[in-house]
């Protein structure tokens, strides 16, 4: 913890030092070169839930409001206007009205109006049958209707007050789509109002975006374009970055061990290690015997040595946490002293494991008669590595795990079918707010609640925190939810990942967000000092 | 010969038909389908939406109907639409073929230019220091995995030149393209040339011990004429077979090299399409590779006749 605090202070010190340096005049022109780690599934942000799509496609669009691209921490205080010039709530906080910027045009020249806003949220409310997937439907469950007053004013009517509602609009996952472009075209040839126009996407090769000369924010963007090259082999793309072929790495692509290589081989590169809001979590299928027995699930929680996993996988850099991202970057994470009281979080691992063994022995398991189980995980190193350590830790409590590596393309289908007993999963969260994390992953009616965990008491608490406007009171309810989830062993979080994003010194005015990776890729005011 | 050619062509058609059935069935036996995969990037699966996508893609129809639709389309030059990119499959496949063909051609050229002469030298200078050196080099070529060699080359380029030879979508000119391709081609060709060299050497050693070689020498033919006109011509038949197999392999087997050097070729694309269960891409690409293999075998058989007049088919 001390080293992490020192890291944060060092960053703050460095930032203050940088602030003292006179600002350079922005230069117009140049093409930003970024590498992409894989072939993105499609370019339609609303149909995907992966950074692979958001990072390149976000530059094509605008939101109604957006998290400030130059503040490291996303919070309601860092929300700035975008397509909406202003917004206001009604007296009982159940109607949010946006006044829209006038004179905005889509990339194909058609005017942007309030109807486009309604069309977009109709997609999210599941009213557009041409859209194949709607992964964030749960975000908008409180949205009753979208009412267009005129071309430049639109009101979102809610079922009940929701303090975090505006934050949902500020995510990179919430761009405004045009009414007049089909869902298929938005997947393959998107049209936006944003700073860059989409040119082409060649699978296995790359993506091209060019400057939108008619961008409604005068003088922006500074860049002539953005070129992405897809390099799936990590060694090759890191070597290419070191050789100066790219200005920016893919988001959080530089892992802790790789960071040393990059900083030693490219000493001028700027690298920031920050939380990604991606958690490594244990999934236990409560419908498959013997894991339908809460005692076994509790024993498994007690067997976890999170610190050992973090030390091995990330040289101690990842964060031990509950469901919400921990402080200092996370705004809702439990304080460490309270976290330590949750089952499986005690520093005295030996004592916890002794207790776990006692439970297992009570259920008839022993060193001679272990419980044999397959530990399923996705065939990607960041999934496999902790899974292997998990197997070793479970051995301590008479659980003989066998690693089942699942083809990455069918992982979610398999888990959704419930075709697993125990698994290790990674989950990314779009916005650092309990409404996003808790509703998406733990509420009974969420499609993205992979384990199908359902506890009406927890649902009621999640609703309660959502409607609480006082931050301190809301935190207290969120932590009660955390305690309940830990008690129920609902997808226990093993750690929250930290990884580095690097850029060359010629890339200016770029700010990395420190409590999420999904919201800072508009890139309209970054520039190249070449 | 005419009857033989007709028989061969018929056999080729039967082989390709068998291939089409095999790939079609095998692809559908692989766990997971495109709809699962489409949903994977959204982190969930919605059964109702999944069903709708299956209908859109025609996957709800019986498998025989799906097969007939594909073959019928193939016969009419319609390869269908790629499931993932939602573009015509032909537009996805065609631009990648020349990239791989050029890489494979250069790798093959590299392997023949180095493998055959060095194999002859190694045989002629059997058990000399040069022979030992060449044998060690060829063994290292066979032992080094091409991905590792590729990574070594990349690291060396970055370390020494501060430059990385990753293929660009649109190289500036022909020379730049050849230069960019020649490095991965050398990495692949090193293994192939080692194979060709070993085979040429052993084949030459066998031929050099034949009576007619002694006769040629007795007639006063120069060493060069003996080695290249008499011995190599007779030793080259197995080498041609291997080169033919390698040529066919290189069209579909450059997966690792294309990945390491980030070359947007057929092999890497095929693996990607298999991962996505993009049936129209996989089926048509495998059929293309099957055609290449069948045609290459046919060409090799025909080359036998040209190289050795004693060989006559259909008699």
Residue A229 C-alpha, separation from nearest chain B C-alpha, in angstroms = 9
Cis, peptide link before residue B288, omega less than 30° from 0: no
pLDDT of residue B151: 84
Paired residues of A376 in beta bridges: A404, A423
Closest C-alpha among A213, A273, A251 to residue A34? A251
Residues B174, B180, B183, B185, CA torsion sign:
negative
What would the two tokens of residue A381 be?
Answer: 């190193």
Identify the residue among B31, B37, B42 best suited for mutation to test binding to A, counting A beta carbons within 10 A and taking the highest: B42
Q: CB contact, 8 Å: B170 with chain A?
A: no
Q: Give the tens place of pLDDT for each residue, B163-180.
A: 777 766 667 788 888 888
Is the full-model pTM beyond 0.90?
A: no
Q: Which of residues 240-259 of B touch A (CB under 8 A)?
A: 259
**CA-CA distance, A243 to B164, in Å (whole number)?**
7
Q: What is the ipTM of this complex?
A: 0.81
Which regions of chain B are under pLDDT 50?
Answer: none
- The DSSP secondary structure of A396-458, one letter per residue, reads TTTEEEEEEEE-GGGHHHHHHHT--SEEEEEEE-SSSSHHHHHHHHHSTT-TT-TT----HHH
List alpha helices for A268-314, DSSP H.
294-303, 306-314
Residue in chain A nearest B159 by alpha carbon: A243
Q: CB contact, 8 Å: A127 with chain B?
A: no
Q: What is the pLDDT along chain A (530 residues), one digit of tens a residue?
A: 444 444 444 444 444 444 444 456 899 999 999 999 998 999 999 999 999 999 999 999 999 999 999 999 999 999 999 999 999 999 999 999 999 999 999 999 999 999 999 999 999 999 998 999 999 999 999 999 999 999 999 999 999 999 999 999 999 999 999 999 999 999 999 999 999 999 999 988 899 999 999 999 999 999 999 999 999 888 889 999 999 999 999 999 999 989 999 999 999 999 999 999 999 999 999 899 999 999 999 999 999 999 999 999 999 999 999 999 999 999 999 999 999 999 889 999 999 999 999 999 999 999 999 999 999 999 888 899 999 999 999 999 999 999 999 987 788 888 988 999 999 999 999 999 999 999 999 999 999 998 889 999 999 999 999 999 999 999 999 999 999 999 998 999 999 999 999 999 999 999 999 999 999 999 999 999 98
Q: CB contact, 8 Å: A132 with chain B?
A: yes
What would the two tokens of residue B198 be?
Answer: 């070993």
Residues A19, A24, A28, A33, CA torsion sign:
negative
Kindly give the interhelix angle for A434-442 and A471-488, rounded to the nearest 10 degrees.
20
Closest C-alpha among A493, A236, A387 to residue B158? A236
Burial category of A312 from C-beta neighbours within 10 Å (exposed 0-12, middle 13-18, buried 19 and up): middle
Closest C-alpha among A88, A35, A53, A136 to residue B43? A136
List alpha helices for A105-182, DSSP H.
114-124, 165-169
Closest C-alpha among A247, A270, A273, A291 to residue A31? A247
Identify the residue among B262, B263, B274, B275 best suited for mutation to test binding to A, counting A beta carbons within 10 A and taking the highest: B262
Q: CB contact, 8 Å: B83 with chain A?
A: no
Direct distance between the N- and C-terminal alpha carbons of chain B, in angstroms, rounded to an integer: 8
Q: CB contact, 8 Å: A204 with chain B?
A: yes
**CA-CA distance, A84 to A78, in Å (whole number)?**
15
pLDDT of residue B170: 66
pLDDT of residue B169: 61
Residues of B within 8 A of A129 (CB-CB) are: 52
Tell me whether residues A133 and B49 touch, CB distance under 8 A.
yes
pLDDT of residue B253: 67
Identify the residue among A236, A428, A443 best suited for mutation to test binding to B, counting B beta carbons within 10 A and taking the highest: A236
Residues of B within 8 A of A408 (CB-CB) are: 40, 275
Structure letter (DSSP) for residue A519: S
What 3-state class would DSSP assign to A28? coil
Identity of the residue in A50, A205, A450 whose CB atom sits nearest the CB atom of B169: A205
Q: Which of residues 267-306 of B touch A (CB under 8 A)?
A: 268-269, 272, 275-277
Whether A495 contacts A319, CB under 8 Å: yes
Q: Which residue has the tokens 């700035």?
A: A80
H/E stretch holding A351:
helix A349-362
Buried b / exposed e over A47-60, threshold 16 CB at 10 Å, is bbbbbbbbbbbbbb
Structure letter (DSSP) for residue A319: B
Q: Give the tens place of pLDDT for each residue, B287-308.
A: 998 998 899 888 888 888 887 7
pLDDT of residue A401: 96
**CA-CA distance, B255 to B263, in Å (whole number)?**
9
Tell me whether residues A231 and B262 touch, CB distance under 8 A.
yes
Closest C-alpha among A35, A45, A387, A29 to residue A187? A45
Burial category of A423 from C-beta neighbours within 10 Å (exposed 0-12, middle 13-18, buried 19 and up): buried
Closest C-alpha among A3, A74, A69, A2 to residue A329? A74
What would the two tokens of residue A26 be?
Answer: 């922005």
Residues of B within 8 A of A228 (CB-CB) are: none
Residue B151 C-alpha, separation from nearest chain A C-alpha, in angstroms = 8
Q: CB contact, 8 Å: A379 with chain B?
A: no
Q: CB contact, 8 Å: A445 with chain B?
A: no
**CA-CA distance, A199 to A210, in Å (whole number)?**
7
Q: Give the tens place of pLDDT for each residue, B52-90.
A: 999 999 999 999 999 999 999 999 999 999 998 999 999
Structure letter (DSSP) for residue A335: P
pLDDT of residue B315: 56
List alpha helices for chain B, DSSP H.
2-29, 34-40, 47-57, 63-75, 89-93, 96-124, 129-143, 146-156, 174-208, 211-218, 223-224, 233-252, 255-260, 266-275, 279-307
Residues A482, A485, A489, A492, CA torsion sign:
negative
Q: CB contact, 8 Å: A15 with chain B?
A: no
Structure letter (DSSP) for residue B255: H
Residues of B within 8 A of A134 (CB-CB) are: 46, 49
Tell me whether residues A409 and B166 touch, CB distance under 8 A.
no
pLDDT of residue A6: 47
**Any residues with CB less than 8 A from the CB of B294 and at least 6 apart, and which?**
B12, B15, B16
């Amino acid at each position: 913890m001390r080293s992490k605090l020192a890291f944060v202070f060092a960053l703050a010190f460095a930032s203050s030092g940088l602030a003292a340096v006179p600002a350079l005049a922005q230069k117009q022109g140049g093409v930003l070169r970024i590498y992409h780690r894989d072939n993105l599934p499609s370019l339609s942000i609303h149909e995907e839930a992966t950074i692979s799509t958001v990072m390149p496609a976000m530059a094509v669009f605008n939101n109604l409001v957006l998290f400030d691209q130059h503040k490291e921490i996303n919070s309601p205080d860092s929300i700035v206007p975008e397509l909406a010039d202003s917004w206001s709530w009604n007296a009982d906080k159940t109607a949010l009205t946006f006044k829209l910027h006038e004179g905005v045009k889509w990339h194909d020249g058609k005017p942007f109006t309030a109807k486009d806003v309604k069309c977009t949220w109709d997609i999210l409310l599941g009213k557009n049958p041409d859209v194949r997937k709607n992964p964030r439907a749960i975000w908008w469950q409180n949205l009753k209707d979208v009412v267009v007053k005129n071309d430049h004013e639109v009101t979102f009517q809610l079922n009940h007050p929701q303090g975090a509602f505006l934050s949902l609009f500020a995510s990179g996952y919430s761009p405004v789509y045009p009414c007049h472009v089909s869902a298929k075209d938005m997947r393959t040839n998107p049209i936006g109002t944003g700073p860059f126009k989409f040119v082409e996407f060649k699978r296995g090769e790359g993506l091209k975006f060019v400057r939108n000369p008619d961008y409604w924010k005068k003088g922006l963007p500074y860049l002539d374009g953005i070129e992405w090259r897809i390099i799936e082999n990590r060694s090759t793309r890191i070597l290419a970055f070191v050789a100066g072929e790219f200005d920016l790495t893919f988001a959080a692509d530089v892992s802790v061990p790789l960071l040393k290589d990059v900083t030693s081989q490219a000493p001028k590169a700027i690298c920031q290690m920050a939380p990604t809001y991606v958690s490594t979590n244990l999934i236990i299928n409560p419908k498959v015997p013997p894991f339908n027995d809460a005692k076994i699930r509790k024993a498994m929680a007690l067997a976890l040595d999170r610190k050992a996993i973090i030390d091995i996988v990330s040289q101690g850099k990842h964060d031990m946490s509950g469901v919400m991202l921990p402080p200092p970057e996370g705004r809702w994470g439990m304080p460490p002293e309270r976290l330590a009281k949750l089952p499986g979080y005690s520093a005295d691992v030996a004592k916890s494991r002794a207790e776990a063994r006692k439970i297992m022995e009570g259920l008839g398991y022993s060193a001679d008669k272990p419980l044999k189980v397959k530990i399923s995980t996705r065939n990607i190193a960041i999934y496999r590595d902790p899974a292997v350590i998990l197997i070793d830790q479970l051995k301590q409590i008479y659980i003989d795990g066998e690693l089942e590596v699942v083809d990455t393309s069918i992982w979610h289908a398999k888990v959704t079918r419930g075709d697993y007993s125990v698994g290790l999963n990674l989950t990314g969260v779009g916005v650092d707010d309990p409404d996003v994390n808790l509703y998406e992953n733990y509420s009974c009616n969420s499609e993205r609640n992979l384990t199908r965990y359902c506890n009406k008491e927890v649902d009621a608490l999640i609703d309660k925190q959502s409607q609480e406007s006082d931050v301190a009171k809301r935190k207290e309810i969120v932590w009660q939810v955390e305690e309940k989830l830990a008690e129920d062993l609902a997808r226990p979080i093993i750690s929250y990942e930290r990884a580095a994003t690097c850029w060359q010194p010629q890339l200016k005015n770029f700010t990395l967000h420190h409590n999420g990776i999904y919201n800072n890729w508009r890139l309209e005011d970054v520039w190249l000092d070449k | 010969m005419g009857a033989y050619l007709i028989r061969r062509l018929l056999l080729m058609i039967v082989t390709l038909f068998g291939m089409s059935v095999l790939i079609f069935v095998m692809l559908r036996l692989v766990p997971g389908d495109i709809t699962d995969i489409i949903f994977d990037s959204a982190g969930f699966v919605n059964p109702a939406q999944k069903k709708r996508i299956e209908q859109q893609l025609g996957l709800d129809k019986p498998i025989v109907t799906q097969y007939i639709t594909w073959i019928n389309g193939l016969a009419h030059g319609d390869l269908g639409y790629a499931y993932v990119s939602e573009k015509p499959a032909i537009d996805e496949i065609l631009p990648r073929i020349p990239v791989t063909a050029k890489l494979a051609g250069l790798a093959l050229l590299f392997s023949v230019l180095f493998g055959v002469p060095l194999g002859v030298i190694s045989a002629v200078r059997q058990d000399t220091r040069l022979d030992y050196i060449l044998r060690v080099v060829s063994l290292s070529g066979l032992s080094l995995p091409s991905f590792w060699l590729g990574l070594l080359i990349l690291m060396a380029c970055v370390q020494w030149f501060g430059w990385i030879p990753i293929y660009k979508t649109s190289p500036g000119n022909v020379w730049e393209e050849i230069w960019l391709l020649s490095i991965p081609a050398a990495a692949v060709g090193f293994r192939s040339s080692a194979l060709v060299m070993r085979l040429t050497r052993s084949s030459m050693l066998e031929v050099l011990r034949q009576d007619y070689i002694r006769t040629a020498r007795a007639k006063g033919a120069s060493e060069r004429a003996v080695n290249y006109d008499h011995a190599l011509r007779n030793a080259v038949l197995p080498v041609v077979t291997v080169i033919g197999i390698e040529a066919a392999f290189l069209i579909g087997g450059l997966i690792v090299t294309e990945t390491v050097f980030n070359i947007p070729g057929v092999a890497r694309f095929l693996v990607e399409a298999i991962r996505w269960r993009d049936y129209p891409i996989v089926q048509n690409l495998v059929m293309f590779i099957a055609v290449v293999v069948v045609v290459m075998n046919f060409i090799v058989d025909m080359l036998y006749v040209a190289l050795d007049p004693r060989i006559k088919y259909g008699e």
